[in-house]
Amino acid sequence: MFEIVKRQEMAQGSVVLNEINAPLIAKKAKPGQFVILRGHEKGERIPLTMADTDPEKGTITIIYQVVGKTTALFKTLKEGDRYLDIIGPLGKPTDIEKVDGDVVCVGGGTGVAVLHPITRAFKQAGNHVIAIIGARTKDLLILEDKMKAASHELHVCTDDGSYGHHGFVTDVLKELLNSKNVKLVVAIGPVPMMKFVCNITKEHNVKTLVSLNPIMVDGTGMCGCCRVTVGGKTKFACVDGPEFDGHQVDFDELTQRLRSYLEQEKQSYELFKTKLNA
């Protein structure tokens, strides 16, 4: 089990896709749910959202950005290699419904990978879906074709103007909010992006779903590591989320909690790079 059947590098190798053999999970998973993986006996458990599933083939697909030790280690895994542990599907599935108006799906960075199955599901549910995806620069953009297919209308943004609209996803979102009958926004990406999106949609009073990515350990509601404040109440993102009403989320607290282990993460990553080079 947990064999990598397909591996693909994206965004100049900074993002990696793995299709993994995990039949039980593939059968159960729904858009918005995630898995927790561990690569080796001394490894950390890290959460990644399923970007796709194939129940017939018994596979799940993850797309991750290489940011530290564990994701760098995952990057060294080749087709035919196995993950030690994969647990899931965890978290609540996205609440997919037919909305009375347009649905705008906004994705930034690797958030686009998480957004893709959700976008597709909203379209399949009969909604008119507009997608906006962004990246720092053209080469870091992922899943453009898939997002095009999953939506009715796709807008692409790059921060440096190397491709598509020159600017942030929020610029395009603002225009759409003014020109269209937007009833729901789904925003998934870096925390600052989600926070900005929510600030804008709040002004327009448009419901906004965000997918939160706090640090997790078990992913089953047992440890409380993933707690986030939503509407003034503490929620466990792994069981109550990971998706929440973005207008209620305390993003600043999430940002601070995500920085809990910066020093150790750096130490661990440096050590790994030294070993890898040796």
Ligand X SMILES: Cc1cc2nc3c(=O)[nH]c(=O)nc-3n(C[C@H](O)[C@H](O)[C@H](O)COP(=O)(O)OP(=O)(O)OC[C@H]3O[C@@H](n4cnc5c(N)ncnc54)[C@H](O)[C@@H]3O)c2cc1C
Minimal distance, residue 231 CB to ligand FES, in Å: 18
**The two structure tokens encoding residue 176:** 């759409």
Q: Residue 84 binds what, of ligand X, ligand FES, other proteins, none (CB under 5 to 8 Å, by partner type)? A: other proteins
Q: Is 238 in the site for ligand FES (CB under 6 A)?
A: yes
Q: Which amino acid is at 86?
A: I
d(CA 155, CA 111): 15
Position among 27, 221, 259, 273 found at the interface with ligand FES (CB under 6 A): 221
* Options 58-66, 79-87, 154-162, 222-230: segment touching ligand FES (CB under 6 A): 222-230
State residue 20 phi and psi, 5-degree precision.
Answer: -125, 140
What is the smallest separation between the CB atom of 114 and ligand FES, expressed in angstroms? Answer: 17
**Is residue 118 part of the contact set for ligand X (CB under 6 A)?**
no
Q: With helix as H, strand as E and coil as C, how does 140-207 read?
A: HCCCHHHHHHHCCEEEEEECCCCCCEECCHHHHHHHHHHHCCEEEEEEECCHHHHHHHHHHHHHHCCE
What is the spatial distance between Cα 78 and Cα 122, in angstroms, rounded to a whole number? 33
The four Cα atoms 161, 167, 172, 178 give a dihedral, to 10 degrees, of -130
Q: Does 226 bind ligand FES (CB under 6 A)?
A: yes
Residue placing its CB nearer to other proteins in the complex, 95 or 145: 95
Which token pair is 204?
């327009």
Among ligand X, ligand FES, other proteins, none, residue 24 binds (CB under 5-8 Å by kind): other proteins
Q: Is residue 248 near other proteins by the rule CB under 8 A? A: no
Cis peptide before 31 (omega within 30 of 0): no
Q: Where are the beta strands (DSSP E) in the chain?
A: 4-10, 15-21, 34-38, 46-54, 59-65, 85-90, 102-108, 128-135, 153-158, 165-166, 182-188, 207-211, 227-230, 233-236, 243-245
Residue 249: DSSP 8-state: B
Nearer to ligand X, 34 or 251 (CB): 34
**Residue 278 binds what, of ligand X, ligand FES, other proteins, none (CB under 5 to 8 Å, by partner type)?**
none
Task: Name residue, tokens 């918005």.
Answer: 32
Among 31, 32, 39, 47, contact with ligand X (rule: CB under 6 A): 47
Q: Which residue of 44, 144, 153, 218 would you call a contact of ligand FES, by CB under 6 A?
A: 218
The Cα–Cα gap between 160 and 136 comes to 6
- Decide if residue 216 touches ligand FES (CB under 6 A): yes
Interface contacts to ligand FES, rule CB under 6 A: 216-219, 221-226, 236, 238
Interface contacts to ligand X, rule CB under 6 A: 34, 44, 46-49, 63-65, 67-71, 110, 113-114, 213-216, 242, 258, 262, 265, 269
Interface contacts to other proteins, rule CB under 8 A: 24-25, 28, 38, 42-45, 69-70, 84-90, 217-218, 220-225, 227-229, 234, 239, 252-253, 256-257, 259-261, 264-265, 267-268, 271
